[in-house]
Structure 1
Amino acid sequence: MPNELVFDQDALLMVSENAGDLILTEAFQAYREARKLKVHFCRKADPESKGRIENVVGYVKGNFAKHRIFQSIDVWNENCKSWLERTGNRKVHNTTKKRPVEVFALEKQHLKPVIKEFTISNVNSSITRTVRKDNTIVYQSNRYSVPLGTYQKDKNVYIEITANNRLIIRSQSDGPIIANHLITFERGKLIQDRQHTRDRNKGITAYIATVSSYFTDEETAMSFLEEIHSRYPRYIRDQLGIVLKVSKAAAQADRDEALRECVKRGIYSATEYSDVLAFIQRQQQQGESKHVDEEIKALHDIDSSLLDTQPETRELARYLDVLKGATV
């Protein structure tokens, strides 16, 4: 086995590139430590760093796999070994002008022995998938549903494949199960649990109650938020999130005044509530820093005597004398 392995970025191996501090999946991290391997991951979307292996994959697909009928994995492996001995490792490489079997015989001297016994125990699956906007994840070219409202920007969920061919989905690696699907071997299918499409308005009611508790007049706040809900039913969670975020950061008196102003002026929008609150906070800051009005003064002091100065006037004959009688 080699001292260092080069990998493409794959969710089975790496969770995040993390600006160079690689975060590997739990299973692969345990494997790397047990094998005492150095690993090198190619940069994302960088074909130059992985062109050689990509060409090898394309060569195997186009030369060996193309037009062959798959019968079983055992037959497929035996045919592949025969192809390697006959073609893949025997033909002269177009770039190196050498046969791979001969090059490997030289490189083999620098490899280290393989650790024969290797087991990983108590390792949980940490494979992640990104939640799409339609509240589904993609696994093996199929879409599997998750509960309505799971989607958030850059939201990842953890998946686990069980022995009885079930796909388990969790929000956290050790959290409760949010979806459980039977894996299909077809392609391009949508596997959806009807429970995942149910209305979650009960959760919205609790959310509104939580946000209204940040105001002194909770009844008025509740009516205000309910009106926002009626105007923005599809974006109510986003609207409530904005109100909650800006209210937490503001003083009690400021958010109460902002609420009164919005109700008074018929403003029922989270973004406009945020603008009103920001205006009130600016007014408060200006009031604290400036207690008295100052007289408006000119930018530059001007001597009033200069305003009475009259320019000197001369007779026209003096100019004619300078011009020596010239005319234009």
Structure 2
Amino acid sequence: MDKWEMYMEIQQLIKQGFSKSKVANKLGVSRSTVYRHLKKSPSDMAVWVESLQTRKKILDPYKELILSWLNEHPDLTAAQVQDWLMERHKDLKVGESTVRAFVRELRKDYQITKETSPREYEAIPDLPMGQQIQVDFGHTKQKTSDNKEMKLNFIAFVLSNSRYKYQEWLDRPFTTQDVIQAHENAFQWFSGIPKELVYDQDSLIVVSENGGDLILTKEFQQYRETRKLNLRVCRKADPESKGKIENVVGFIKYNFAKHRVFQNIDAWNEQGWEWLHRTGNYKIHNTTKKRPVEVFSLEKQHLRPVKGNVHFLNNYENSITRSVRKDNTIRYLSNRYSLPLGTFHKYETISIKETDDRHLLIYHRETGELLAKHQIPDGKGQLMKDRQHTRDRTKGIDAFIDNVANRFEETTMAFDYLDKLREKYPRYIRDQLHMILRETKQQNAQILTAALQECIKRNLYSATDFSDIILYLQRQRQDHETPNDNAEIVSPLNSVSGWMMETEAQKRNVDTYTVLLEEGEAN
């Protein structure tokens, strides 16, 4: 119903004897709208409607930008639109109702329907200032700049009275060590520690509720004693116990993170903290009708001061644990990683740690025994298998292959090469291994790795070829060290590689093979 139709409908209903309240209810408008329309004469109404059509709106310069957002993300809220505008145009001053009305009009004019799935929370009484911080975890899936999808994890904190918030993100799963560091960062953000912290049953913090006598993970128990924290655990997704933090997690997901493009984790955290200053802690709260930042200026006076810095990064081991599966593997980030045969019968759970160079260390926490080390792949659903975990290599040729392969820096590549050598020379594999073993004793690791890569590249699976490649590489290195400026470089006329033209066939006497046979019998 346009404004003229509304005006005429109000006039007719009033003439029919309806009260102003009844008219408002019947038309679904406020009583103030009815009063405002009744004060206008038809000529005044015509002038007012015409002025609306020609009047410039404060958001008109941003119409195309907002429209592009709504077309790309139909479920975008007006609150997000306002935040994105303020993020890009820091000098823009616009009220929430203005943005809502503008977005509503754009949706109507361009028929952009908004799909929503709201969640209801039960209101609980406010606690005294400085009494409680609620803590919870969340995760989102974000589009990256190269249009891939990245899973991000975050931890959120909120002061129950003022609703003042803090958030911290990681592009990998949180460990107990990360949680401890996030607490330290949060206490610095809040400039104090509350009387109580409320959590759900997260395994990074709580091992068991134990009938109310909490059993915490080793690291978090030590941290709790150091900071003298009073903890309380409630059920997961329980709005009655921690409804405030449930709302904050949703606010972070759907106002800050939704449709935002991920670049890197440092920039993402910076954007998150700017969002807290700009929107998360500045926007008027729907329940309290106050700005969290303003109430926080009073509540922080009731917090216990943070004394000193607690550094846990070098004091505690990573406490991510995984159950060992029957097939002697564990799962991590949607991939499977192999363990030595027999691990399932030996250990029920093991610990894992991700290194800075994207390797996964799998070890037994109590003994410190390193069980496996794997490269972490980029994709999902993959099985990362160490060849040493596939068979019993305690005797015979398997043990010999192990011995030779472990003399290379690139052990996995060496295993692959030697296994193919075994397929090609099943009757003479021991002789082949003896020849390669002799080279590993005489050459440095760099030459061995280069020769191995060259053999695989050129599909040369023979111990003699391996030795010839080493001679070729040594001769090349000598030529580089003592260059002959007067030498004329002649390009070969055929398609044979240069290394084959430069390599002379080895001439061995009978004594060489006698030695090999004697060594074979000894083994």
TM-score by length of 1: 0.52
Q: 1:46 to 1:196 in 2, by over 3 A?
A: farther
> Of 333, 347, 350, which residue of structure 2 is paired with 1:157?
350
3-state DSSP class of the match of 1:80? Answer: helix
1:229-248 equivalences in 2 (<5 Å): none
> Of 210, 214, 222, which residue of structure 2 is paired with 1:30?
222
2:233 is the counterpart of 1:78: no
Q: Which residue of 2 aligns with 1:58?
A: 250
Q: 1:169 to 1:77 in 2, by over 3 A?
A: closer
The percent of aligned pairs where both chains have the same amino acid is: 62
2:291 is the counterpart of 1:99: yes
Assess if the C-alpha contact under 8 Å between 1:143 and 1:190 holds in 2.
yes
1:163, CA displacement in angstroms?
A: 4.8
Q: Which residue of 2 aligns with 1:143?
A: 336
Q: Which residue of 1 aligns with 2:377?
A: 184
Post-superposition Cα deviations, 1:266-317, rounded to whole Å, max 9, x if no partner, equal xxxxxxxxxxxxxxxxxxxxxxxxxxxxxxxxxxxxxxxxxxxxxxxxxxxx
Assess if the C-alpha contact under 8 Å between 1:26 and 1:124 holds in 2.
no
Based on CA coordinates, which of the two structures has the bigger radius of gyration?
1
Q: Partners in 2 of 1:78 and 1:125 — Cα distance?
A: 25
Q: Partners in 1 of 2:238 and 2:329 — Cα distance?
A: 28
Q: Partners in 1 of 2:378 and 2:307 — Cα distance?
A: 35
Aligned length: 202
1:31, CA displacement in angstroms?
A: 2.0
Q: Which residue of 1 aligns with 2:387?
A: 194
1:134, CA displacement in angstroms?
A: 4.1
Task: Point out where structure 1 has 5 or more consecutive residues left out of the alignment.
Answer: 203-328
> Of 69, 78, 84, which residue of structure 1 is paired with 2:261?
69
Q: Which residue of 2 aligns with 1:10?
A: 202
> Of 113, 135, 145, which residue of structure 1 is paired with 2:305?
113
Structure 1 outlier segments of 4+, above 6 Å:
none
Task: Point out where structure 2 has 5 or more consecutive residues left out of the alignment.
Answer: 1-192, 396-523
1:33, CA displacement in angstroms?
A: 2.0
CA RMSD of aligned residues (A): 3.3
Q: Partners in 1 of 2:359 and 2:266 — Cα distance?
A: 25
Q: Partners in 2 of 1:180 and 1:45 — Cα distance?
A: 36
1:64, CA displacement in angstroms?
A: 0.8
Q: Which residue of 1 aligns with 2:319?
A: 126
1:65, CA displacement in angstroms?
A: 1.0
Assess if the C-alpha contact under 8 Å between 2:201 and 2:235 holds in 1.
yes
Q: Partners in 2 of 1:197 and 1:44 — Cα distance?
A: 41
Assess if the C-alpha contact under 8 Å between 2:237 and 2:246 holds in 1.
no
Q: Which residue of 1 aligns with 2:498?
A: none
Query: What one-letter code is carried by the residue in structure 2 that aligns with 1:3?
Result: K
Q: Partners in 1 of 2:319 and 2:338 — Cα distance?
A: 19
1:108, CA displacement in angstroms?
A: 1.2
Post-superposition Cα deviations, 1:104-160, rounded to whole Å, max 9, x if no partner, equal 2332121121233222354333331223344332323333222344346x9322223
1:268-283 equivalences in 2 (<5 Å): none
Q: Which residue of 1 aligns with 2:419?
A: none
> Of 212, 229, 239, which residue of structure 2 is paired with 1:20?
212
Query: What one-letter code is carried by the residue in structure 1 that aligns with 2:374?
Result: H
Assess if the C-alpha contact under 8 Å between 1:143 and 1:191 holds in 2.
yes
Q: 1:166 to 1:75 in 2, by over 3 A?
A: closer
3-state DSSP class of the match of 2:343? Answer: coil
Q: Partners in 1 of 2:288 and 2:278 — Cα distance?
A: 19
Assess if the C-alpha contact under 8 Å between 1:168 and 1:177 holds in 2.
yes
Q: Partners in 1 of 2:236 and 2:331 — Cα distance?
A: 20
Q: 1:138 to 1:18 in 2, by over 3 A?
A: farther
